[in-house]
Amino acid sequence: MRIVDLYWLPQLAGIHQRLPENICSVDASWPDLVSVANSRLNFLQTNQLDRVLSKRGRTAGASHADVVAGTVRLAVLSSSTAEHLSAGIRVAGLRRSLAVEIYTGAYGQYMQELEDRNSGLRKFCADVVLFAFHAQHLFGELEVGLPADESGKLVESAARHIVATWRSARGLTSGQIIQQAVASSYPCLMGSNEHRLPGSGAALVDRLNERIRRLAEEEGVDVLAIDSCMARDGRDAWHDPGLWHSAKQEFSPLAGPAYGDLLMRLVAAQRGRSCKCLVLDLDNTLWGGSLGEDGLEGIQLGSGSALGEAYVAFQRYLHDLSRRGIVLAVCSKNDPVAARSAFDAHPEMVLRQADIACFVANWDDKATNLRAIAAQLGIGVDSLAFADDSPFERNLARRELPMVAVPELPEDPAYFARCIADAGYFEATRISSEDLARQDQYQNNLAREQLHAVHTDLAGYLQSLNMVLHWAPFAGVSLQRVVQLANKTNQFNLRTQRYTESQVLAIMQRADALTLQLRLIDRFGDSGIIGIVIGVLSGNTLRIDAWLMSCRVLGRRIEEATLNLIVAEARRLGATELQGEYLPTQKNGVVSDLYSRLGFSRVALREDGSSLWVLQMSDYVAIDAPIALKRSDARG
């Protein structure tokens, strides 16, 4: 059984069946509810959240205090049962901070309601009208042997009926009219060449949908492309013939959340509430591997590997998005010069620097950078979508900026484009010539002034990660990883000293040496060994020969926790002083100020830019870092 679900939204933490208790209370705040609505809810959870919403609405005054982006009065005029889709629609509204009121006409009664001046529909004062007709309602009993010209007339008369309802609805509202494309539930009579049988239901539905799209264009009506969705997700994911016979439900309740989201995208788009800008991470998002570590030649991009091809295909999709008016921006923890040059120097890059309206590569936290990007582009933070392969960065962005759309990208980049497309963040109902020229416009208008940094609660976020640094002296089982890390780490690497396996083994034998392998585990999982330290005792001084860390975990204050650990272990060896050295390379600028940040004093600055630093441990007070240290047995 295939179920359509909102797979691009994050799972609610610790969810099974019911929603968390605090959400179910009438005191739950609107932003809390919006945040729950932005998770991967199944239909039961959706119904439950909808009940919370409606109970809340009944408590007087509660809704007035809410920070609602807008209200929607939606009339659903359907030829089949549609009440069961209402919860999914209201929750999809909530997802966009829109408060939705729904009027559902009695099924099949929509013509009377449209005509009658005193009907409930008229009194409702809808600002959005949705028409949803099932094929049998439009075509009646089908005669398979129908000659071609007769079947043409059948399509035409169904189309005329639909246009007539649109025009009646125009008398009710100046707002948006949405026509659901006709869903085909007819089984094939011939097969692949079904279109050659004029009286085939499946063929008639295809022709009618084509007609509806053309007429909708003329009449200013928006189409809800349920036919495309059914083709994409499989008919069975949407339509259950058993439920059709028992309850006249054209769409299964299981598809309710997806139906609601699809509809509310259109409503939000018409109100200018679709995302305008897609902010992109670089490493492992636009290409495979890390630019800083692997270098321009080492990243995976382009022909030669399936993975490299997948990143190219994703870039091509992004390029197409930008050509149709979606602004692209970059937000990456990378060296700014190297990151920019990759766009123009790598022969397989589809995206070029000119395609990026705002390019931010630095070591700041990404929430701060996302705010800066929105400010620089002159759009709201709620107009941003943010694509990043790292769960850490995604969750930081969601926590700090819940109004930013952050899809749960699948692990395989081959599915990145599909995920972003399915999420519907950039839903548009019209395309203008301005859209097609937008990228240039942003590029030209770009303000270069220094942006004021807005405070991000990074400390609170880091605290919430429950990071534990499991440390141990080097051990045989993890030797390979230690050697690999020592030899490929370029950015957070103080001396960029390379080691062979036998050199490392020799160090491990020495009684006067300190070796530390650091493994990070947080609530998102195990990052493996992410850092190593090698120190050698000489008199009362412990000389730090190697201190390096994987760039994946920069910005989490692991260096502070590591220093606490080095000091404790150095004291155990009898040292009273630490000595560190910084040897600058093309790539390790990120640690040029590390020793100074950590309270070391500089004792020498050489002509080549290298420097020598000392820390007296007698007056060292452990730095308060949001990471627990734990001695572990030395497994890989």
Partner 1 sequence: MDKQKILSEIALIVRDVVDRPDLQISMQTTAENVKEWDSFNHINIVVAVEARFGVKFHTAEIEELKNVSDLVDLVWQKMNT
Query: How many residues in total does the chain contain?
Result: 636
Rounded to 5 degrees, what are φ and ψ at 70? 170, 165
Least CB distance to partner 1 at residue 6 (A): 15
Q: What is the CA radius of gyration of the chain?
A: 30
Nearer to partner 1, 1 or 60 (CB): 1
Least CB distance to partner 1 at residue 84 (A): 7
Q: Token pair 């570590």 is at which residue?
A: 293
Least CB distance to partner 1 at residue 248 (A): 11
Nearer to partner 1, 48 or 564 (CB): 48
Least CB distance to partner 1 at residue 185 (A): 15
Nearer to partner 1, 16 or 572 (CB): 16
Tokens, residue 208: 């009618």
Asked if 571 contacts 617 with a C-beta cutoff of 8 angstroms, the reply is: yes
Least CB distance to partner 1 at residue 17 (A): 5
Q: How far is CA 70 from CA 58, 89, 91, 237, in A?
A: 18, 15, 14, 31
Q: Identify the bridge partners of residue 385 per DSSP, sorted by sequence position.
A: 278, 405
Chain-centroid distance of CA 632 in Å reads 35
Q: Report the alpha-carbon distance of residue 636 to residue 443 in Å, rounded.
A: 47
Nearer to partner 1, 61 or 242 (CB): 242
- Least Cα distance to 51 among 94, 113, 107, 2 occurs for 94
Nearer to partner 1, 107 or 386 (CB): 107
Least CB distance to partner 1 at residue 33 (A): 17
Least CB distance to partner 1 at residue 257 (A): 12
Nearer to partner 1, 17 or 192 (CB): 17
User: Could you please report the per-residue DSSP string of 363-405?
Assistant: SS-HHHHHHHHHHHHTS-GGGEEEE-S-HHHHHHHHHH-TTSB
Q: Report the alpha-carbon distance of residue 99 to residue 83 in Å, rounded.
A: 17
Nearer to partner 1, 47 or 490 (CB): 47
Q: H or E element: which one contains 315?
A: helix 306-323
Nearer to partner 1, 33 or 542 (CB): 33
Nearer to partner 1, 253 or 580 (CB): 253
Tokens, residue 64: 């007035």
Least CB distance to partner 1 at residue 63 (A): 20
Q: How far is CA 542 from CA 407, 436, 576, 611, 619, in A?
A: 46, 62, 8, 16, 16
**Helices H, strands E: what count in the chain?**
25, 18
Nearer to partner 1, 5 or 400 (CB): 5
Least CB distance to partner 1 at residue 571 (A): 55
- Least Cα distance to 442 among 386, 379, 384 occurs for 379
Least CB distance to partner 1 at residue 81 (A): 9
Nearer to partner 1, 255 or 262 (CB): 255
Least CB distance to partner 1 at residue 44 (A): 5
Least CB distance to partner 1 at residue 428 (A): 33
Nearer to partner 1, 44 or 421 (CB): 44
Least CB distance to partner 1 at residue 132 (A): 18
Nearer to partner 1, 51 or 196 (CB): 51
**Amino acid symbol at 558:** I
Least CB distance to partner 1 at residue 30 (A): 21
Nearer to partner 1, 42 or 109 (CB): 42
Q: How large is the angle between the packed helices 30-37 and 86-95, nearest 10 degrees? A: 110
**Amino acid symbol at 24:** C
DSSP structure class, residue 477: G
**Amino acid symbol at 52:** V
Nearer to partner 1, 92 or 331 (CB): 92
Q: Report the alpha-carbon distance of residue 452 to residue 438 in Å, rounded.
A: 26
- Least Cα distance to 579 among 612, 604, 551 occurs for 612
Tokens, residue 239: 């339509």
Residue 556 zone, left/alpha/beta (φ > 0; ψ -120 to 50; rest): alpha
Tokens, residue 299: 């990243």
- Contact set with partner 1 (CB under 8 A): 1, 3, 17-18, 42-44, 47-48, 51, 83-84, 240, 242-243, 245-247, 249, 252-254
- Least Cα distance to 334 among 363, 367, 299, 301 occurs for 363
Q: Report the alpha-carbon distance of residue 376 to residue 449 in Å, rounded.
A: 9
Asked if 29 contacts 62 with a C-beta cutoff of 8 angstroms, the reply is: no
CB burial readout 284-315, b (16+ within 10 A) else e: bbbbbbbbbbbeeeebbbbeeeebbbbbbebb
Nearer to partner 1, 43 or 139 (CB): 43
Q: How far is CA 564 from CA 567, 594, 597, in A?
A: 5, 14, 14
Q: Report the alpha-carbon distance of residue 9 to residue 40 in Å, rounded.
A: 5
Least CB distance to partner 1 at residue 409 (A): 25
Least CB distance to partner 1 at residue 249 (A): 7
